[in-house]
Amino acid sequence: MTNEPGYRLAVGVMLLNRMGQIFVGRRIDMPMISAWQMPQGGIDPGETPQNAAFRELREEIGTDKAEILGESRMWLKYDLPMELAQGVWGGRYRGQCQKWFAMRFIGDDTDIDLATDRPEFDAWKWIPSERLPQMIVPFKRQLYIDILAEFRSHCTTVKIS
């Protein structure tokens, strides 16, 4: 793991359904803008990035019915805007350094339940990969473009026999 000073170690999950569409959730804590994102969050002490990715799915969408398809080659980082950095994570970090995972959702849409112990999303949907960059807040957009480029081969329909 890499640990650059000022950045919170975290994971992100590009969760794909059988049609190759990507899961996005609308953040509860940003009602003034329509802030959509893929599941992501910090890595707890002693936790592997893979374990953190599955935990984040359970915490944010109520299920971890997924299988890993791929892992980002590098740790990717983003900076929070100054006005957010002071309030998020108690001002300890200026952004996140993330390991990303492409995962195939192997459950049913009815398994997704946003009413978790600490809800982060108030709505969710599956979107085609080409819509992802335009739905993301500007400060995360380049990171999402980079992840999408790396995981593009996974954004395909799965044939069910």
Give the Å distances, CA to CA, from 16 to 45, 154, 158: 28, 8, 10
The tokens for 154 are: 């996974």
- pLDDT level of residue 160 (50, 70, 90 thresholds): low
Q: Say how far apart CA 107 and CA 94 lie, in whole Å.
A: 35
- Mind listing the pLDDT tens digit for each residue in 50-79? 999 999 999 999 999 999 999 999 999 999
State if pTM tops 0.85.
yes
Reduced to 3 states, what is the DSSP secondary structure of residue 39?
Answer: coil
- Mind listing the pLDDT tens digit for each residue in 93-126? 888 999 999 999 999 999 999 999 999 999 999 9
What are the structural domain ranges in the chain? 7-105+118-154
Q: Is the pLDDT of residue 48 over 60?
A: yes
CATH (residue range 7-105+118-154): 3.90.79.10
Q: Say how far apart CA 60 and CA 113 lie, in whole Å.
A: 8
Cβ–Cβ < 8 Å for 79, 95: yes
